[in-house]
Structure 1
Amino acid sequence: MSLEVMEKRFSEQQLEQIIEEAMVYMCACPAQVAVQLRKLRELYSYQQNCETDPGNDPAPHREIARAAIEAHTLMENCLSRVLEIEGWDMATLRMPEGLRRKRAEAFGLGD
């Protein structure tokens, strides 16, 4: 029996865009969620490799993978809601101008 499939709402490229955008404008919270999503994907991939190794009992790896899938779904939903709450452009994954300006001014980077 093989592992469940991990559905992904955000691509690796989109996660990278969120991380870069958030870090440039000193808004690390969305970036932190994106980083955790990447780690959950790595955990899931690792479990896939372990499950298919003939010397391993697949049951523990299936359980870890199942939990990774649940956590991944929860965190993707969270990221989507946070981006929506903050007003990010979901097509380009750019932070809204007002939030950019606010962050720049808070750190003395404004005009």
Structure 2
Amino acid sequence: MVEHFWITCLQKEIKKNNKLLFLIENEQMRIFLFGSAKNNKSPNDLDLLLTYNNEVISLEEISKIKKELKTYFYSLDLGITIDLLFLSYIEERQISFVRKECALKIY
């Protein structure tokens, strides 16, 4: 399946980032794939949604984390541009982004 190609690729890269893995394992962040890469092995870009627990992570912390993760994801050598969208868990629930986009959970 095409969707497993990008999910597998991204899971492998995410496992290399200890800070991101820590956030995921402690239920402070979730990562989803949406857009054309869900169904296409050669999309124009990878669209990732990163949701975070704003009850645990302060605005100051998420600002630092966003910068770090943007640097990390943009430096990956996957041969494709990665676009990141950040939403708090509350924001995501309010707009039902994951459901509306049929986003696939990576972590």
Task: Judge same fold: TM > 0.5, yes or no.
Answer: no
The bucket for the TM-score relative to the shorter chain is 0.3 to 0.5
Q: Which has the larger radius of gyration?
A: 1
For normalisation by structure 1, the TM-score amounts to 0.31
Greater relative contact order (CA < 8 Å, ≥ 6 in sequence): 2
For normalisation by structure 2, the TM-score amounts to 0.32
Q: Which protein is richer in strand relative to its size?
A: 2
